[in-house]
A and B are shown apart, each in its own frame.
Chain A
């Protein structure tokens, strides 16, 4: 069981993390952050296995991942 924490204001909406997540835990939000980017958000938390691949792909270091 994993947990993804996203700092929405650091996200620039590049979507690299979406290519890395094999469990569809995250998706683009519909509302923009304060810089005008649509950030990724956690939509399916229970599916997260805590692999950390989304964070490894994130250019902005906006994603933190924890695991039980």
Chain B
């Protein structure tokens, strides 16, 4: 029989993933693993994970060299590593709090320098690991543990659109937003992730794939209801597609 789908060899060997049921981090890490294997760069890749569900869940699950970076600083760490070790494939794996709240400066400046690294950015509209607090990407009106009456854009800020913000800079090469709500979107998201890595191999510079993701545990929704929430609420705020491709 022909193999249609088989687990990538570079995940789940040493440690099961520690993500909650229905967490889309698991899908994203799996897609990254598939892409690394397809590009034949598993042995030369180094993941710079952030602090939060991004780092804690992916750490050890993805069986490649891994560096945990101080909260928010993954792109500063990865920039320096890539400059000193251009032969390695370097990517950061970051959540919304890590990438655009505490790590806003590092993200903007690594993008502005056009560092030749790949960024995998998982946007689930809140802080997962710490228990569901408001993130810069939290939707207007969305309840979190620190916006119990719903996020008030006038007081708490409005949702930040990372791809569009980075699109104001000269140097990023590729900015795209996907999601994992159905097979079609997952296949599309994987294409974005693959291109973000392909660009690095071709020396094209800063490439970021944003993945609009579900956090069923902190959203207080079942995994299936979380998919509905993404389709109905998240995607109107965070439209899918390529924002920049140079």
Q: How far is the CA of A50 from the CA of B12 in the complex (A)?
A: 24
- Decide if B1 is an interface residue (CB 8 Å cutoff): yes
User: Contact at B182–A64, with CB atoms within 8 Å?
Assistant: no
User: Contact at A66–B26, with CB atoms within 8 Å?
Assistant: no
How many residues of chain B get a CB closer than 8 Å to chain A's CBs? 30
- Decide if B11 is an interface residue (CB 8 Å cutoff): yes
Task: List residues of chain B with CB under 8 Å of any chain A CB.
Answer: 1-8, 11-12, 16-17, 19-27, 30, 182-183, 186-187, 216, 223-224, 227
Q: Say which residue of A12, A52, A59, A60 sits within 8 Å of B5 (CB atoms).
A: A52
Q: How far is the CA of A9 from the CA of B30 in the complex (A)?
A: 17
Q: Can you give 15 contacting A-B residue pairs, CB < 8 Å?
A: A14-B216, A14-B224, A16-B223, A19-B182, A20-B182, A50-B4, A55-B5, A59-B24, A60-B17, A61-B7, A61-B11, A62-B7, A64-B7, A65-B4, A66-B4
Q: Is the interface of B mostly helix, strand, loop or mixed?
A: mixed
User: Contact at B26–A60, with CB atoms within 8 Å?
Assistant: yes
Beyond contacts A2-B4, A59-B27, A67-B1: 5 other A-B pairs, Cβ-Cβ < 8 A, are: A15-B224, A19-B224, A57-B182, A62-B7, A65-B4
User: Contact at B21–A12, with CB atoms within 8 Å?
Assistant: yes
Known: A16-B22, A16-B223, A59-B22. A66 touches B2 (CB 8 A): yes
Q: How far is the CA of A14 from the CA of B227 in the complex (A)?
A: 11
User: Contact at B21–A53, with CB atoms within 8 Å?
Assistant: no
A interface, how many residues as a size bin? 20 to 34
- Decide if A63 is an interface residue (CB 8 Å cutoff): yes
Which chain A residues border B23 with CB–CB below 8 Å?
59
Q: How far is the CA of A47 from the CA of B156 in the complex (A)?
A: 51
